[in-house]
Amino acid sequence: MKRPSWLLILVFLLFLLLALMLVRPQTGTVTTTAWETTTLKLVVEQPTTVTSTATETITSTVTVLKTITLRQVDAVCFSKVQDCASLIVSLIDGASRSVYVMMYSFTSDEIANALIRAKNRGVEVKVVIESQQANISGSEYGRLLSAGVDVRLDGNPRLMHHKVAIIDGILVVTGSYNWSRAAEQDNDENLIIIIDPLIAEDYEKEFQRVWAQATA
């Protein structure tokens, strides 16, 4: 039998070496990429809600849901160009349980009349007026007292500058608008009506604080 030549042996060894190099594990740094996706979804319903869904994907998927109820602004009013006093009167006339008022200046006959009507039909009416404004010309302080409305003067040695009414524990009337002829006819004032029990609750807490330090 003929022995394989040295050339064939060399080729075989080279082939074996090449095969070992191809299957040998490679060393180095392995880099992986994590993908992150975020999906936002807006849903408008009654009551209006915003729902956001965040999805983060690495080796698994995690979904987080969050629902926020939007606050409802029922109306806005700008004096001189709109009749804000009539809007306030209509809200007071619609009260069925309570009307709490904190007012810096109060000289509006028609709004005072609405409060007296509310008191006479059994609605709980409480009013705090800034003491420095109680005896100015046209002040409604004395007339409210005479009509049996529960009215007090603010006890803050500085100013009680609120212009707020909380109606039935759910509706807040606020803004720069004093309940006065000047606010309705002369000044540029704003008024906003908010229907939200949580906001009304916060305003009622402030009212109770102011009421507690006020004097009859």
Choosing from 163, 196, 202, 205, which is the catalytic residue? 163
Q: Is residue 162 flagged as an active site residue?
A: no
Sign of torsion over alpha carbons 168, 172, 178, 184: negative
CA distance 99 to 207: 11
Task: Assign 112 to helix, strand or coil.
Answer: helix
The residues, ordered by sequence, that sit 6+ positions from 215 with a Cβ below 8 Å of its Cβ are: 152, 153, 155
CA distance 104 to 108: 12
CB 211 within 8 A of CB 128: yes
Return the structure tokens found at 91: 């809200």
CA distance 83 to 185: 9
Q: Is residue 163 flagged as an active site residue?
A: yes
The residues, ordered by sequence, that sit 6+ positions from 182 with a Cβ below 8 Å of its Cβ are: 105, 107
CB 197 within 8 A of CB 169: yes
Q: Which residues are catalytic?
A: 161, 163, 168
